[in-house]
Amino acid sequence: MNHQDIYISLDIGSSSIKVLIGEMSDRQLHVIGVGQVKSNGIRRGAIVDIDATVQSIKKAIEQAERMTGLKIEEVVLGVPANQTVLQPVKGVVAVNGDGREISDDDLARVLDSAESIATPPEKEIVNLLPKRYTVDLLSEIKDPRGMIGTRLEVDATLVMTSKTLLHNVLRCVERAGLSVREIYLQPLAAGYYALTEDERNQGTAYIDLGGGSTTVAVFEDGLLTHTGIIGMGGDQITKDLSIVLETSTEQAEKIKKQYGHAFLDDASDDQLFEVKIDGTSMTQQFSQRYIAEIIGARVEEIFEYVLDELSRLGVRDLPGGIVLTGGVAALEGIGQVARQVMQLRVRIHTPDYIGVRDPGFTTAVGLIRYAHSDDEFYGRSSEMQTVSGSIQPTPPKNKSNATEKKVDHGNKTTIMDKAKKFFNNFFE
């Protein structure tokens, strides 16, 4: 196995923490290890208990390590879209060199220029997303390297998040014994993976239905244009079932997954099941149709909040419709409810890889695919710090200038320098 092709993603969610080990070969992902545990210490995407979160991360890492025999030391980290700001920025530099051929160094400098703006003290830069480059008077360029010119410009989007949120996530990862290779906004990486090229270009809403919250991200003209968070998700559905069925939260979660249906018209009166009344030895019998009324009401409310959030973001038209993913998207009938409430075309995305054929793994897969795409585009080594038995990772050879600088249209070395500063400032 070539360790330079191995990526490990860490998806820290409100309901579960997922670790995915994947090997990329000829642009194809092969899942070789999975870790998934229930989250503790996280509420609605924000860390509320450092110690509990660290222990959850460690358990997920250990699961993936046992499956593969690899010792995980470094991860591609996803951060939630809570308190995210997307800010348009512009960078301009003079092209270096006698031949005026645009190089990796010129690309790195113009991206640094775009990023060097004053940011609010409570915000931290996560990603820089180039929209287009301009060489002299020639615009709409996707990749200017190798072109001849004297002036290089970039129009980009700066992705910023809460400094406190990012600090807490990084602190948990560091205390779990891991280092961070790259950081990406979760809906950025997941959206680029889950949406087709046409969907990203036409104008499509990517909706991640998580346990504690629902993430809304809009893509248009191939770019991430809006993000939002709704503080409601699958945990509210479970709580509703627990209250109405008079059973434990644990039992309600199992019932939701085994018998749950979100669309009342398609639910069955004939599918019956017994539910233990919490705190007693007694049971009650319910039908799938009965709980579909409970589930459907909450799911409708979630999609109504999604519509409100899209309106707040200024999104008026979605020709590409919506793409649903996240753990709650596995509920039967959820697509029908979404179509009914939102009056849009709806598609549910499920990763098509052995071991992760569940919408809840979309972000974990997306982080790996996005990181690999960046590595390919910028000629960067994909080596990660993993060790399997006595086999050591192959050291990188003849790193290019782009690799040395870790230029990245979604995440540059300057971003990772900031992460390292977090560790140095807070953990020394």
pLDDT in tens, 153-209: 999 999 999 999 999 999 999 999 999 999 999 999 999 999 999 999 999 999 999
Asked whether residue 428 carries a pLDDT value surpassing 70, the answer given is: no
pLDDT one-digit tens code per residue, 228-249: 999 999 999 999 999 999 999 9
| CATH class name, domain 196-348 | alpha beta
Q: Which of 361, 14, 78 is nearest to 212 (CA)?
A: 14
pLDDT one-digit tens code per residue, 272-324: 999 999 999 999 999 999 999 999 999 999 999 999 999 999 999 999 999 99
DSSP per residue, 18-79 = EEEEEEEETTEEEEEEEEEEE--SEETTEES-HHHHHHHHHHHHHHHHHHH-EEE-EEEEEE
The average pLDDT across 44-62 equals 94
**How is the chain split into domains, by residue range?**
196-348
Confidence of residue 46 (pLDDT cuts 50, 70, 90): confident
Strand residues in 196-271 grouped as ranges (E): 204-209, 214-220, 223-230
Confidence of residue 408 (pLDDT cuts 50, 70, 90): very low
∠ CA 259-39-31, rounded to 5°: 80
**Distance from C-alpha of 173 to C-alpha of 299, rounded to nearest angstrom:** 33
